[in-house]
Amino acid sequence: MHPILGTWDVRLKTPIGTLGAVYAFSDTSGVLAGTASTTSETVPLAAIVCDGPRVTWRQSVTRPMRLNLDFDVVVDGETLTGHSRAGRLPRTTVTGTRRTNREKLNSLQGNRRTATEAAQARTSHLQRLRLRPDGSECAGQGRDPH
């Protein structure tokens, strides 16, 4: 089993500040796959190689700017440390912690609550405007007949 498998909260200390991302690594029939997600995008990982505790991969990002990144990290139990490099730019320090099953569940539940709350807020807003979800008016609802 590869030591990188799972979901990781990763911090990248870049020249423009510390960036956070969630990395997810999986193994399908012996082939490693992964994604990196930030608030602005989710990108696939390429050329993932696991050599004992050392893991390398490549990824392309478009935010905060368009870059091709090479990563080289070492996994030690529930933590990872290493660096990434984008061409001639300085190396970026990379650290991460593996998420536990409880953290994954809490994250999923939080996302569901957020989606539910957004739907409720939209419905409430439409009701105040006296509109149906399709944009048509609700005839007679809340109107003063006089």
- CATH number at 41 reads 2.40.128.120
Confidence of residue 65 (pLDDT cuts 50, 70, 90): confident
Instruction: Say yes or no: 86 and 45 in one domain.
Output: yes
Q: Supply 18's token pair.
A: 């510390």
- Report if residue 141 sits inside a domain: no
Instruction: Say yes or no: 69 and 82 in one domain.
Output: yes
- Report if residue 108 sits inside a domain: yes
Distance CA 116, CA 122 (A): 10
Instruction: Say yes or no: 123 and 66 in one domain.
Output: no
Instruction: Say yes or no: 31 and 88 in one domain.
Output: yes
CB 96 within 8 A of CB 24: no
Give the Cβ contact number of residue 117 at 10 Å.
10
CA distances from 62 to 9, 33, 42, 43 (A): 20, 20, 10, 9
Confidence of residue 137 (pLDDT cuts 50, 70, 90): low
Instruction: Say yes or no: 82 and 10 in one domain.
Output: yes
CB 16 within 8 A of CB 4: no
Instruction: Say yes or no: 106 and 89 in one domain.
Output: no
Instruction: Say yes or no: 78 and 112 in one domain.
Output: no
> What pLDDT shows up at residue 64?
77
Instruction: Say yes or no: 104 and 83 in one domain.
Output: no
The predicted-structure confidence for 111-136, as pLDDT tens digits, reads as follows 554 555 555 555 554 455 565 555 56
Range of the domain at 66: 6-99
pTM exceeds 0.75, yes or no: no
Q: How many domains does the chain have?
A: 2
Instruction: Say yes or no: 57 and 95 in one domain.
Output: yes
- Report if residue 55 sits inside a domain: yes
- Report if residue 142 sits inside a domain: no
Confidence of residue 109 (pLDDT cuts 50, 70, 90): low
> What pLDDT shows up at residue 15?
81
Q: How large is the average pLDDT for residues 36-64?
A: 95
Q: Helix, strand, or coil here: 123?
A: helix
Instruction: Say yes or no: 45 and 113 in one domain.
Output: no
- Report if residue 121 sits inside a domain: yes
The predicted-structure confidence for 82-108, as pLDDT tens digits, reads as follows 999 998 889 999 999 999 876 555 555
